[in-house]
Amino acid sequence: MLAFAVALLVCVLGYLAMAVPASWFPSASRVGFAASDLAMSRGTAAVEGTEFVVTATDDAGMALVVVNANLRSIDYPVIEWLARDVPADAEVRVIWRTDYAPAKTSSAPAEVAYGRVLPVDLSRHPDWMGRVTGLGLAIRAPLAQPIRIRGAEAKPMGAAGVLAERFREWTAFEGWSGSSINTLSGGSDVQELPLPALLFAAVALASLALAGVARWRPRWYEASPAWTFAGLFVLAWFVLDARWVANLARQVPLTAGQYAGKDWRERHLAAEDGPLFAFVERARGVLPAPPARIFVLADAHYLRGRAAYHLYPYNVYYEPYRNATPPADRLVPGDWIFVYQRRGVQYDRAQQMLRWDGGVTVPAELKLVDKGGALFRVK
Amino acid sequence: MDVIVLLIGLSLTWVLGAMLVALLVAPGPALAAGRGAWIAGTGGYVGAFLVTLWMRALSALHVPFGIASIALPLLVVLGALTFVVWRRSSTRLGAAWSSAWAALLGAGLPRWQRFAWLALLAWLALRFGLLFAEVWLRPVYPWDAWIQWATKSRVWYEMRSLVPFARPEAWFAANGAYFYDASPDYPATVPLLQTWASILLGRWDDALMNVVWWGLGVSFVLAAYGALRGFGLAPLPALTGAWLVGSLPLGGVHIALAGYADLPMASYYALAAVATLRWLEHRSAGNAVVALLLLVACPTIKTPGIVWVLTIAPAIAVALLPRYGMRTLVTLLVATAIALAVLAQTNPIVLGYRLHLDFDPAWAALFESFFMLGNWNLLWYAVIVVAVVGRRQWLSPALLPMTAIVGAGLAFLFFVFGFTNARAWVADQTTINRATLHLAPLIGLWAVLVFTAWATRSPAAAPTPPATAAEPA
Q: Specify if B157 maps to a domain.
A: yes
Stretch among A293-297, A301-305, B425-429 having the lowest mean pLDDT: B425-429
Cβ contacts (< 8 Å) between A315 and chain B: which residues? 176, 179-180
- Is the pLDDT score of B464 beyond 60? no
For A41, how many CA atoms within 13 A lie in the half-sphere containing its CB? 13
Task: Find chain B residues with C-beta within 8 A of A226's C-beta.
Answer: 389, 451, 454-455, 458, 460-461
Query: Residue B462 — very low, low, confident or very high, per pLDDT cuts 50/70/90?
Result: very low
Co-location of B333 and B249 in the same domain: no
Which of B259, B293, B327 is the last residue in one of the domains?
B293
In a domain, B198, yes or no: yes
> Sorting pLDDT into bands at 50, 70 and 90, what band is B423?
low
**In terms of C-beta density within 10 A (0-12 exposed, 13-18 middle, 19 or more buried), how is residue A253 classed?**
exposed
Give ∠ CA B127-B129-B135 in degrees, rounded to 5. Answer: 105
Do the Cβ atoms of B256 and A248 come within 8 Å?
yes
The closest CB to that of B204, out of A227, A241, A264, belongs to: A264
Substitution target from A220, A248, A259, A321 for chain B, most B beta carbons within 10 A: A248
Contact B199, B65 (CB under 8 A): yes
Q: Which residues pair with A295 in a beta bridge?
A: A317, A337
Among partner residues B157, B260, B455, which is closest to A226 by beta-carbon distance? B455
Residues B314 and B353 in one domain: yes
- The DSSP result for B212-231, as a single string, is HHHHHHHHHHHHHHHHHHHT
Per mean pLDDT, which range of A212-221, A349-358, B30-39 is the poorest? B30-39
What's the confidence (pLDDT) of residue B138?
Answer: 96
Count of CB atoms situated within 10 Å of the CB of B26 = 11
Whether residue B417 lies inside any domain: the answer is: yes
Q: How is A108-163 classified by DSSP, letter by letter? A: EEE-EETTEEPPEE-TT-TT--SEEEEEEEEEES--SS-EEEEEEEEE---HHHHH
Is the predicted pLDDT of residue B470 greater than 50, yes or no? no
Per-residue pLDDT band for A91 (boundaries 50, 70, 90) equals very high
What does the pLDDT look like over B206-236, one tens digit per residue?
A: 999 999 999 999 999 999 999 999 999 999 9
pLDDT of B463: 42
In this complex, the residue of A191, A290, A309 whose CB is nearest that of residue B158 is A290
Q: Where residue B30 falls among pLDDT bands split at 50, 70, 90? A: low
**pLDDT value at residue B458:** 52
pLDDT in tens, B273-316: 999 999 998 888 999 999 999 999 999 999 999 999 999 998 99
The pLDDT of residue B426 is: 66
Mutation for A interface: B162, B171, B244, B253, most A CBs within 10 A: B253
B53-89 pLDDT, tens digit each: 999 999 999 999 999 999 999 999 999 999 998 888 7
- B164 at the A interface (CB within 8 A)? no
Do A12 and A198 meet the contact criterion of CB atoms below 8 Å apart? yes
Distance of CA B354 to the CA centre of its chain: 27
Q: pLDDT value at position B469? A: 39
Contacts of A305 in chain B (CB under 8 A): 143, 146-147, 182
Whole-angstrom distance, CA of residue A100 vs CA of residue A132: 8
Of the candidates B248, B275, B293, which is a domain's last residue? B293
Among partner residues B240, B252, B378, which is closest to A200 by beta-carbon distance? B378
Number of neighbours of residue A323 by Cβ within 10 angstroms: 15
How many residues make up chain B in this entry?
473
pLDDT at res. B468: 40
Name the B residues in 190-219 with CB < 8 Å from any A CB.
203-207
Model pLDDT for residues B152-200, shown as the tens digit of each residue = 999 999 999 999 999 999 999 998 899 999 999 999 999 999 999 999 9
- Give the pLDDT score at A144: 82
Q: Is the pLDDT of residue B92 over 90?
A: no
Sheet containing strand A373-378, strands side by side: A315-317, A293-297, A336-340, A373-378, A360-370, A353-356, A346-348
**Mean pLDDT across A296-305:** 95
CB contact under 8 A, B373 and A183: yes
**Domain limits at B356?**
303-461
Compute the average pLDDT of residues A214-224. 85
Q: Is residue B234 part of a domain?
A: yes
First to last CA, chain A: 77
Q: Model pTM?
A: 0.90
* Residue B298 placed within a domain: no
pLDDT higher than 70, residue B473? no
Q: How confident is the model at residue B428 (pLDDT cuts 50, 70, 90)?
A: low
Residue A41 exposed, middle or buried by CB count within 10 Å (0-12, 13-18, 19+): middle
- Cβ pair A241:B455 closer than 8 A: no
pLDDT band of B91, cuts 50, 70, 90: low
Identify the pLDDT of residue B310: 95
**B162: closest CA among B174, B171, B170, B152?**
B152
In this prediction, residue B329 has a pLDDT band, given cuts at 50, 70 and 90, of confident
Examine the domain organization and report whether B435 and B457 are in the same domain: yes
- The stretch B243-266 carries a mean pLDDT of 97
First-to-last C-alpha distance (Å) of chain B: 35
Q: Tens digits of per-residue pLDDT, A188-218?
A: 888 889 999 999 999 999 999 999 988 888 8
* Statement to judge: residues B263 and B371 lie in one domain: no
H helical segments located in B166-261: 168-174, 189-201, 211-230, 235-246, 249-256
Q: Are residues B431 and B287 in the same domain?
A: no
Last residue within a domain, chosen from B229, B263, B293: B293
Judge if B214 and B363 occupy the same domain.
no
Mean pLDDT, chain A, rounded, equals: 93
Residues B323 and B417 reside in one and the same domain: yes
The verdict on a CB contact (< 8 Å) between A264 and B139 is yes
What pLDDT band is residue B362 in, cutting at 50, 70 and 90?
confident
3-state secondary structure of B10: helix
- pLDDT value at position B417? 81
Cβ–Cβ contacts within 10 Å for residue B351, how many? Answer: 10
Read off the pLDDT of residues A98-142 as tens digits, 9 standing for 90 and up: 999 899 999 999 999 888 999 999 988 999 999 999 999 999 998
Asked if pLDDT for residue B465 goes beyond 60, the answer is no
Residue B226 belongs to a domain: yes
pLDDT digits (tens, 9 = 90+) for A52-90: 999 999 999 999 999 999 999 999 999 999 999 999 889
**pLDDT for the residue B82:** 92
Angstroms from A333 CA to nearest CA on chain B: 12
Asked whether residue B215 falls in the same domain as residue B250, the answer is yes
Can you tell me the mean pLDDT for A139-164?
A: 92
* Chain B residues in contact with A187 (beta carbon < 8 A): 374
Contact (CB<8Å) B373/A194 = yes
Q: What integer pLDDT is reported at residue B459 of this predicted model?
A: 52
For residue B466, being part of any structural domain is answered with no
| Residues B199 and B233 grouped into a single domain | yes
B204 in the same domain as B160: yes
For residues B323 and B452, membership in a common domain is answered with yes
B163 and B29, same structural domain? yes
**CB-nearest partner of A237 from B140, B176, B378:** B378
Residue B112 falls inside a structural domain: yes
Measured in angstroms, the CA of A248 and the nearest CA of chain B are apart by 7
Q: How many domains does chain B have?
A: 2
Please give the Cα distance from A78 to A88 (Å, whole number): 22
Decide: A191 and A118 in contact? Cβ < 8 Å. no
B302/B133 Cα distance (integer angstroms):
27
Q: Is the dihedral of CA B247, B248, B249, B253 positive or negative?
A: negative
